[in-house]
Amino acid sequence: MSTLKNDLLLKALRGETVERPPVWMMRQAGRYLPDYQKLKQKYSFFERCQNPELATEITIQPVEQVGVDAAIIFSDILVVPQAMGMEVQMIEGKGPLLPDPIKQYNDIDKLRIPDVNDTLGYVFDALALTKKTLAGRVPLIGFAGAPWTLLCYMVQGKGSKTFDEARAFCFTQPATAHRLLQMLTDTTIAYLKGQAKAGADVVQVFDSWGGLLSPKDFEEFSLQYIRQIITALKTVCPTIIFAKGAWFALEEMAATGTSGLGVDWCIKPGMARSFAGKNTTLQGNFDPARLLGPVSSIKSAVKEMIDAFGTHRYIANLGHGILPNVPVDHARAFVDAVKEYSLVAR
């Protein structure tokens, strides 16, 4: 195993003292980078995910071009439903489409808990090749969608701001929902363990739609499954849970024993810290739309953010994925502002 030249992210997740907070950006691979757009013209979305050389190239682009302190493997959360037997299409300009969504109990009979090496081995190959190509420059993050967020797409069949059908499905057919959520959980545990084995230094669970549930429903339909995942993974590698909008459950999520918790921009840093406690690293929470503002305001807002979170047990990040129309210079200004912080502070 190569030793890491930059292990700020791992130190922050372990609660060790760092000279400055590490910085990376959710959804940093792809989207806003011109070199990614070139590859997009030649290969389909899933070709880009399934070809380890392409996935490696895309994963490393933000490390080289923007200077982030971690790489996140280029893939998608929807490769898991795909591996379980669902058709997933990625429609340009529209997003994901699952033409045959889950509507009732029997629909789940078509799904399987797959052998992850057979169905998702290409992600493990991409991680191994990326790890080798990075040669210890920065840590490599693996990821998966939380079972609840995957259910949202599998039931609704496409993106939505509210996922009403997915929520109604849970309330009208709870036994079916729980059967599906448990299959997703079992698959995700095997998948994330495989990612760690293939070279991921850290794994993040994305619960992008966790905040659509009430606190009680979040426990029933999301957190109890995330808890199983963290319990299975935390002895394998550091873990981060990002449940967008689910600030009300930060205390319960911290109690899973996760190393890190992602937060969005709708919570005050001090409040997030008081919910999460002293022994969990917080990650976030810059409003991604702020990267569209002028560089001077990005820099001052980053300083304010770090002042508020403090430099201990903190990872600078956005509060959700980077937007596709962010100028690369602005992304770089965000990263540079974090890197300059220690100089300003001393």
Angle CA 278–279–282, to nearest 5: 80
**Could you say which of 22, 52, 81, 96 contacts ligand CP3 (CB under 6 A)?**
96
Based on the shown chain and the rule CB under 6 A, indicate whether residue 30 belongs to the binding site for ligand CP3.
yes
Based on the shown chain and the rule CB under 6 A, indicate whether residue 90 belongs to the binding site for ligand CP3.
yes
One character per residue 200-239, x = contact with ligand CP3 (rule: CB under 6 A) = ------x-x-------------------------------
Instruction: Closer to ligand CP3 by CB, 30 or 52: give it.
Output: 30
One character per residue 109-128, x = contact with ligand CP3 (rule: CB under 6 A) = --------------------
Based on the shown chain and the rule CB under 6 A, indicate whether residue 148 belongs to the binding site for ligand CP3.
no
C-alpha 179/C-alpha 244 separation (Å) is 24
**Could you say which of 15, 121, 136, 159 contacts ligand CP3 (CB under 6 A)?**
159
C-alpha 323/C-alpha 331 separation (Å) is 10
Query: How many chain residues touch ligand CP3 (CB under 6 A)?
Result: 21
DSSP 250-306: HHHHHTTT-SEEEE-TTS-HHHHHHHH-TTSEEEEEE-GGGGGS-HHHHHHHHHHHH
Contact 229, 185 (CB under 8 A): yes
Task: State how far the alpha carbon of 210 is from the alpha carbons of 57, 61, 176, 191, 291, in Å.
Answer: 31, 30, 19, 21, 24
Stretch that binds ligand CP3, among 7-15, 88-96, 125-133, 219-227 (CB under 6 A): 88-96
Based on the shown chain and the rule CB under 6 A, indicate whether residue 18 belongs to the binding site for ligand CP3.
no
Based on the shown chain and the rule CB under 6 A, indicate whether residue 321 belongs to the binding site for ligand CP3.
yes
Stretch that binds ligand CP3, among 3-11, 90-98, 120-128, 163-171 (CB under 6 A): 90-98
Instruction: Closer to ligand CP3 by CB, 44 or 274: give it.
Output: 44
27 sits in the region (left: phi over 0; alpha: psi -120 to 50; else beta) called: left
Based on the shown chain and the rule CB under 6 A, indicate whether residue 77 belongs to the binding site for ligand CP3.
yes
Instruction: Closer to ligand CP3 by CB, 19 or 87: give it.
Output: 87
C-alpha 339/C-alpha 337 separation (Å) is 5
Instruction: Closer to ligand CP3 by CB, 85 or 321: give it.
Output: 321
The tokens for 165 are: 């059908």
Based on the shown chain and the rule CB under 6 A, indicate whether residue 40 belongs to the binding site for ligand CP3.
yes
C-alpha 13/C-alpha 22 separation (Å) is 10
Instruction: Closer to ligand CP3 by CB, 194 or 273: give it.
Output: 194
Based on the shown chain and the rule CB under 6 A, indicate whether residue 76 belongs to the binding site for ligand CP3.
yes
Contact 194, 117 (CB under 8 A): yes
30 sits in the region (left: phi over 0; alpha: psi -120 to 50; else beta) called: left
Helix (H, G, I), strand (E, B) or coil at 70: coil
Q: Which residues of this protein are in contact with ligand CP3, per CB under 6 A? A: 27-31, 40, 45, 72, 74-78, 90, 95-96, 143, 159, 206, 208, 321
